Amino acid sequence: MADARRVGTEQPATRARMLDAVQALMIEDGYAAVSARRVAARAEVKPALVQYYFPTMDDLFLALYRRAAEDSIERQATALASDRPLHALWALSSDSAQTVLAIEFMALANHRKAIRAEIASYSERARALQAEAVRRILGESTSDIAGLPPAGVSLLLAGAARALVMERGLGIEGGHDDAQLIVQRWLDAVAPPKAPLT
């Protein structure tokens, strides 16, 4: 939601500091704890400056979400370009700070349509990129499960990782080691490490 009176006037470092503050507050205390005053205090700026850059809370949350989504797409591209892309994708999906932030945004989306639309748009884009990579990887696999639908594999990996992080955050550990073992064995069966060249 661009505001014409701010175009060309933003100081990238100040804006980034404010978005860093929002992100930290969301991870530490949840989205409901975010206010212009708390962001200003955390970023060491005046509350009026937060409102100048971000006239509404939706503007503030959308700016953070877009920054996080672009960062996630870049991290995903790096993971998928690695020697063991499915393993790297699993590790990326298991990043607790990113998962906590994603969960906060999903909770926020229940109350804010603009956030919901942005999450849906980004998620479809990310899922398509993942599915294409999984399709390529499974197509090269000699495993008997290589014919699984790539978008479903992508969703199950992300969902399992998110569930483990969520439960860990609540202090629930039962079955986690077993689930991790199942995923690791499946990943190793479908996408074993490439043999070193001799």
Average pLDDT rounded to a whole number, residues 123-135: 86
Instruction: Give the pLDDT score at 97.
Output: 83
Does residue 76 share a domain with residue 14?
no
Task: Find the domain containing 140 and state its range.
Answer: 64-190
How many structural domains does the chain have? 2
CB atoms inside a 10 Å sphere around CB 82:
13
Instruction: Give the pLDDT score at 178.
Output: 95
Residue in the block written with tokens 């483990």: 164
Instruction: Give the pLDDT score at 146.
Output: 59
For residues 154 and 39, the model is more confident at 39
Instruction: Give the pLDDT score at 195.
Output: 53
* Burial environment of residue 196 by CB neighbours within 10 A (0 to 12, 13 to 18, 19 or more): exposed
Instruction: Give the pLDDT score at 169.
Output: 83
DSSP 148: S
- Given a cut of 80, is residue 44 above it in pLDDT? yes
70-120, pLDDT tens digit by residue? 998 899 889 888 888 888 988 988 888 888 898 899 999 999 998 999 999
List alpha helices for the chain, DSSP H.
12-29, 36-43, 47-53, 57-80, 85-93, 96-109, 113-140, 150-169, 176-190
Record the pTM. Answer: 0.80
197 falls within a domain: no
Tokens linked to 148: 């699984």
41 falls within a domain: yes
172 falls within a domain: yes
Q: Which residues contact 101 (CB under 8 A, 6 or more apart)?
A: 23, 26, 27, 68
How far apart are alpha carbons 143 and 138 in whole angstroms?
8
Instruction: Give the pLDDT score at 5.
Output: 43
134-192, pLDDT tens digit by residue? 888 777 665 556 567 888 888 888 889 989 988 988 899 999 999 999 999 988 887 77
How far apart are alpha carbons 14 and 134 in whole angstroms?
39
- Which of 136-142's residues contact partners 24+ apart within 8 Å by CB, and which partners? 137/85, 137/86, 137/190, 137/191, 138/190, 141/190, 141/191
Does residue 85 share a domain with residue 134?
yes
CATH number at 42 reads 1.10.10.60
Tokens linked to 188: 């190793």
Instruction: Give the pLDDT score at 196.
Output: 52
Does residue 73 share a domain with residue 167?
yes
5-30, pLDDT tens digit by residue? 443 355 789 999 999 999 999 999 99
